[in-house]
């Protein structure tokens, strides 16, 4: 499975992010010690923004953010 397109989209999202504003729960999310993480919540509350801000902050090449809403995953079996 080729994740090149997904990696490129992740880096584009991260490069456009602003780290000046952070939600009140930002410090409660710890992605450094987790192999897999998911955030639950209503649409539009900032889940994606928090995760991508964390990725930008730690500047890690070993992390992949995947949104299953991405059209790429309509043709790829996640199993």
The 3-state secondary structure of the chain reads CCCHHHHHHHHHHHHHCCCCCCCCCHHHCCCCCCCCCCCCCCCCCCHHHHHHHHHHHHCCCCCCCCCCCCHHHHCCCCC
pLDDT score of 77: 74
Contacts (Cβ under 8 Å, ≥6 apart) of 51: 29, 31, 37, 39, 65
For residues 4 and 30, is the Cβ–Cβ distance under 8 A? Answer: no
15-60 per-position pLDDT tens digit: 888 888 888 888 888 877 777 777 888 988 888 888 888 888 877 6
């Amino acid at each position: 499975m080729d994740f090149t397109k997904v990696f490129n989209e992740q880096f584009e999202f991260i490069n456009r992010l602003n780290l000046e504003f952070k939600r009140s729960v930002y410090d409660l999310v710890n992605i450094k010690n987790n192999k897999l993480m998911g955030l639950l919540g209503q649409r539009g509350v900032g889940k994606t923004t928090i995760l991508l801000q964390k990725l930008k902050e730690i500047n890690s090449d070993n992390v992949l953010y995947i949104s299953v809403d991405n059209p790429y995953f309509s043709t790829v079996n996640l199993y």
